[in-house]
Amino acid sequence: MNVLVIGGGGREHAICWSLLKSPRIGKLYCAPGNAGIAQIAKCVDISATDIDNIVRFAEKNVDLVVVAPDNPLALGLVNELESAGIRAFGPRKEAAIIESSKVFAKELMTKYGIPTARYEVFTNSIEAKAYIRDKGTPAVIKADGLAFGKGVFVASNIGSADNAINLIMHEKKFGESGSRIIIEEFMTGPEVTVLAFTDGKTIVPMLSSQDYKRAYTGDLGANTGGMGAFCPSPYYSEEIADTCMEKIFRPTIDAMRIEGRMFKGVIYFGLMLTQQGPRVVEYNARFGDPETQPILSLLKTDLLDIFEAIVDERLDKIAIEWKYGSACCVVMASGGYPERFGKGYEITGLDQVPGDITVFHAGTARSEDSFVTNGGRVLGITATGNSLAIAAARAYVGVRFIDFYLAHYRSDIGHIIG
């Protein structure tokens, strides 16, 4: 079976790497891919949001398209592929809205009684500021639409709340994503991410995970797309898993089906384990990055079988199994990320990394004989082990072999946060 994966980051490298283990995989393509993906799949020079060209390429070359990033999902790539008669893995546009509109997600949770932070929606900044003065801080301020994971501000005082509101609504830091904002109650507790496979009727959670959103060691600095992740989370007990299934996971996919927005693909639950029980912080309509790198490192079942079972709506017919142990991914990023950073610096040491450590490429390109940096997040060094401590130590062994100008990484990935 010939497959095209859409996207070009560490998550897509891990998806390609996992698909290649399937005995049924034929030609594997990735658009646009990156230099690491190019070592294992044929990269096609089409951007992830160039819907027309993706459909045209897929019609000629593949049997299945796997859409990984949020943007093409929100733009309706899966709908377009299906209209052209091409099998596609990922939610349709009307289901991907669970990520692309936070207002939609909050209204869904309210309507179906799914636990989340209390909130109000504002399209007027004066009213938003008055509301914060009334309710007090800390308050959480979020742009409605997609904002590369950076549209959320936790304001500890009125001044920073006003700044966040101005940045989103007046300076339009996230473009039209900022014409509506949500102000949420501030919740506390450990954060756990659960990705789940779903065909819209059956939902099968993957191993729980934790990611590190802040740029620097000790949870300092700006929010990023994610500086590392591990799985499973020690906070996620069987009892909590049962509660999440009953109060959050099932109700969410049932709600989407009832709303005529059947969700097929991977759904991402960002959860906070509060004193009152688990609550939803956010939904994403896709695999997380970098959570996918450690999670797929522990997947035993053939990923292609899972994707097909989801597309064909027979997820209840297959068993999904995981390897014993833990996995950990340490992201090596460009100096300056998530703000300004340079590109084109040579990456050394990749060929010396021991074979049991997997280096997923996120932002890399090829320059003559070497790999060079080509993005904010450059590499995800991933290892497994019988315990989290072993997996993390092994990932850091990999990190020590690799270097590039101004490389930066957190030294506390795998330390429990929460």
Per CB under 6 A, residues contacting ligand GLY are: 149, 211, 226, 284, 288-289, 291
- DSSP secondary structure string for all residues of 298-326: TB-S-HHHHHHHHHTT-GGGS---B-SSE
Build a one-symbol-per-residue string for 265-294: x at contacts with ligand AMP by CB under 6 A, - elsewhere.
Answer: -----x----------xx------------
Q: How many other CB atoms are found less than 10 A from the CB of residue 275?
A: 7
Asked if 298 touches ligand AMP (CB under 6 A), the answer is no
Find which of ligand AMP, ligand GLY, none residue 390 binds, CB within 5 to 8 Å per kind: none
Find which of ligand GLY, ligand AMP, none residue 226 binds, CB within 5 to 8 Å per kind: ligand GLY
Nearest to 328 by CA among 226, 191, 225, 198: 226
Q: Which of 80, 191, 291, 308 binds ligand AMP (CB under 6 A)?
A: 191
Q: Which of 35, 81, 98, 117 binds ligand AMP (CB under 6 A)?
A: 117
Q: What's the CA gap between 385 and 237, in Å, rounded?
A: 20
Strand pairing report for 228-231 and 203-211: antiparallel
Cβ proximity to ligand AMP, 187 vs 298, nearer residue: 187
Q: Which of 131, 186, 216, 405 binds ligand AMP (CB under 6 A)?
A: 186
Q: What's the Rg (C-alpha) of the chain? A: 21
The backbone torsions φ and ψ at residue 127, rounded to the nearest 5 degrees and listed phi first, read -65, -35
Asked if 307 and 15 count as a contact pair (C-beta separation under 8 A), the reply is no
Nearest to 89 by CA among 61, 69, 70, 66: 66
Q: Which of 28, 187, 280, 327 binds ligand AMP (CB under 6 A)?
A: 187
| Block residue for tokens 């029980």 | 277
Q: What's the CA gap between 387 and 345, in Å, rounded?
A: 34
Asked if 80 touches ligand AMP (CB under 6 A), the answer is no
Find which of ligand GLY, ligand AMP, none residue 140 binds, CB within 5 to 8 Å per kind: ligand AMP
Nearest approach in angstroms of CB 228 to ligand AMP is 14
Strand partners, 370: 367
Find which of ligand AMP, ligand GLY, none residue 288 binds, CB within 5 to 8 Å per kind: ligand GLY
Q: Would you tell me which residues interact with ligand AMP (CB under 6 A)? A: 117, 140, 149, 152, 154, 184-187, 191, 213, 270, 281-282
